[in-house]
Structure 1
Amino acid sequence: MFNQGGQQQQQAQNAASDSSWYKQQYEAVHCDKYLCPSTLSCVHFPHHCPCSHPEVEDKVELDDGSMVCVSKGGYKAGEAARKIELARKALL
């Protein structure tokens, strides 16, 4: 009666509370280089991985060839990288 034109509306469902969806996506990706664990991007090196949410995260490359994504902080560009470097030197 309320279903016009034979179309059914589907309601969104909550994501599973386990890692099954992620595992399924991970196993389906083909990558012959480095597969970024947080974005499933295929890159040449781990420090080339993008951040999952670049609009609110800064990417900081570390000396060991890895990288981290941290919440943007402060009012100046590079503030997150500066704080990580201070923490690495035990000055923060």
Structure 2
Amino acid sequence: MVRPPLTELDRERGHRLGAILRQARGSRSMAEVAAAAGLSAETVRKIETGRIPTPAFFTIAALAQTLGVSLDVLVEVCTPERAA
């Protein structure tokens, strides 16, 4: 399966997602959060910096649970018409 190219909207949404996750992480280390979510620190870093603008649902669900962030909040932050 070939993935379609990312749009500017996809990239913008990825940066917003990364920012809210970074903020939710607070003073906890990236490695600590990654381990608790069952992910690599590199994956968390790439999501937080927007290098993975469209992460898998289960990846985001694991991070959201670890960070205590509601998926509803993430959807709201990442929905273009609500983020403005």
TM-score, structure 1 normalization: 0.21
Q: Which of the pair is proportionally richer in strand?
A: 1
Larger Rg: 1
Q: Which of the pair is proportionally richer in helix?
A: 2
TM-score, structure 2 normalization: 0.22
